[in-house]
């Protein structure tokens, strides 16, 4: 099967959406499919065309940036050619260009499947409100034109104003999650570098630095945690400098974070590749995902942590609460409530044996090959 996957950002850009698309694309290739990624050349230094892990990547030049998105004038022209050449089209939303691609799929008789990752909620401001309205309109047009829509969980779908409109053509499919096995030396080497044996417990946060991720909720929860565990430290993995649209947020929180850095209670690790993440997780006592709104729909990092025996403390957002609810590895905190987050983290740290799960079952459930098979079934059904 020739599968065309379309999304605004692809690797080396790092986000839950791009990681999902990459894992799924590689799984399709391993299963014998021909996969093409159509995306934007958001960084001019990136190649216009290359093959990554057997996946053909075509990047369309960008003329301008608009908020967190881009304008690529030739996107439609390239899409016309690629849609015609492929058997099925998979689009990752939110995406400004999705309705145009879905329309081409309709015209050429090719099934179009949307994978809806999350709502788009930009920071306050008149211009961002306008961008939000435009993207919502585009998403709705794509929803009308697409043959089917995939979301991570029914929980998220039930609470999404967007997905509830398309209940008749909606299928929940869990996201693909995998990590390499670290070398025997990698985990202790990471521990030695970051002194995790001395400074326990270790609280992990793995995400880019953005307002919707709830970094300030963890910051506000730390004093209560440090009263009981004065040697606790936070290891923050993910981009934290020069995050598009988030500089003001970082500047506001940085003075407080800097104090914790100086006292050894907070360490920024920067972006980690999968091998480095595989060494990080075994060094954590708990992971937290204190996200604040529906731009977070699941939190793939929770499953990565659980695969390494690490429990999670997410906020009670629809979808985000599901990994803990499904697998029992952690506790859920109230959205935006630092006192609740502190209590939940302390509960997990105090009695870790209560939050152990079936790790092998979790690995099997989220194996990219298993997820690719679910998509295959959907594609074949739509092609009939």
224 and 300, same domain (yes or no): yes
For residue 302, being part of any structural domain is answered with: yes
pLDDT score of 367: 97
Q: How far apart are CA 289 and CA 324, in angstroms?
A: 11
25 and 113, same domain (yes or no): yes
Q: Count structural domains, the chain.
A: 2
Residue 98 predicted with pLDDT over 90:
yes
pLDDT digit string (tens) for 243-268?
A: 877 889 999 999 999 999 999 999 99
pLDDT digit string (tens) for 35-83?
A: 999 999 999 999 999 999 999 999 999 988 776 677 889 999 999 999 9
pLDDT digit string (tens) for 298-320?
A: 999 999 999 999 999 999 999 99
207 and 292, same domain (yes or no): yes
Rounded to 5 degrees, φ, ψ at 99 are: -65, -35
Q: Is 159 exposed, middle or buried (0-12, 13-18, 19+ CB in 10 A)?
A: middle
238 and 323, same domain (yes or no): yes
Which residues span the domain enclosing 157?
2-176+367-383
- The enclosing domain of 258 has a CATH number of 3.40.50.2000
For residue 164, being part of any structural domain is answered with: yes
| Residue 255 neighbours by CB under 8 Å, 6+ apart | none
pLDDT digit string (tens) for 154-210?
A: 999 999 989 999 999 999 999 999 999 888 899 999 999 888 777 789 999 999 999
For residues 338-354, give the mean pLDDT: 97
In 3D space, the residue among 335, 354, 338 whose CA is nearest the CA of residue 286 turns out to be: 354
Phi-psi region of 11 (alpha: psi -120 to 50; beta: other; left: phi over 0): beta
For residue 243, being part of any structural domain is answered with: yes
For residue 24, being part of any structural domain is answered with: yes
357 and 376, same domain (yes or no): no
30 and 152, same domain (yes or no): yes
348 and 378, same domain (yes or no): no
For residue 181, being part of any structural domain is answered with: no
Question: Do 249 and 280 contact (CB within 8 A), yes or no?
Answer: no
172 and 233, same domain (yes or no): no
150 and 252, same domain (yes or no): no
pLDDT score of 122: 64
For residue 227, being part of any structural domain is answered with: yes
262 and 320, same domain (yes or no): yes
107 and 211, same domain (yes or no): no
């Amino acid at each position: 099967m020739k599968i065309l996957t379309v999304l605004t950002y692809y690797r080396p850009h790092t986000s839950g959406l791009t990681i999902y698309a990459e894992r799924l694309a590689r799984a399709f290739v391993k299963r014998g499919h021909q996969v093409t990624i159509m995306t934007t050349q958001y960084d001019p230094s990136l190649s216009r065309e290359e093959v990554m892990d057997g996946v053909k990547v075509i990047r369309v030049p960008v003329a301008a940036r608009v908020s967190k998105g881009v304008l690529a004038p030739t996107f439609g022209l390239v899409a016309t050619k690629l849609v015609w050449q492929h058997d099925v089209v998979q689009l990752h939303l939110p995406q400004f260009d999705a309705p145009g691609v879905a329309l081409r799929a309709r015209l050429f008789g090719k099934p179009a499947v949307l994978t809806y990752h999350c709502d788009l909620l930009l920071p306050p401001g008149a211009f961002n409100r306008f961008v939000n309205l435009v993207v919502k309109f585009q998403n709705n047009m794509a929803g009308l034109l697409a043959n089917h829509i995939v979301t991570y969980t029914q929980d998220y779908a039930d609470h999404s104003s967007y997905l509830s409109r398309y209940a008749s053509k909606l299928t929940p499919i869990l996201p693909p999650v995998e990590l390499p096995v670290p070398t025997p030396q990698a985990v202790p080497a990471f521990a030695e570098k970051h002194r995790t044996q001395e400074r326990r417990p270790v609280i992990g946060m793995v995400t880019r630095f953005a307002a919707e991720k709830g970094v300030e909720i963890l910051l506000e929860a730390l004093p209560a945690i440090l009263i009981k565990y004065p040697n606790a430290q936070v290891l923050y993995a993910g981009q934290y400098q020069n995050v598009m649209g988030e500089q003001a947020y970082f500047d506001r929180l940085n003075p407080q974070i800097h104090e914790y850095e100086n006292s050894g209670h907070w360490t920024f690790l920067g972006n980690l590749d999968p091998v480095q993440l595989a060494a990080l997780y075994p060094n954590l006592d708990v992971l937290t995902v204190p996200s604040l709104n529906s731009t977070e729909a699941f939190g793939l990092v929770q499953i990565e942590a659980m695969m390494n025996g690490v429990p999670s403390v997410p906020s009670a957002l629809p979808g985000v609460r599901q990994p803990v609810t499904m697998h029992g590895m952690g506790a859920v905190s109230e959205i935006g409530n630092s006192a609740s987050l502190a209590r939940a983290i302390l509960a997990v740290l105090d009695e870790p044996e209560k939050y152990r799960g079936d790790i092998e079952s979790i690995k099997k459930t989220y194996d990219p090959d298993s997820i690719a098979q679910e998509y295959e079934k959907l594609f074949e059904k739509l092609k009939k």
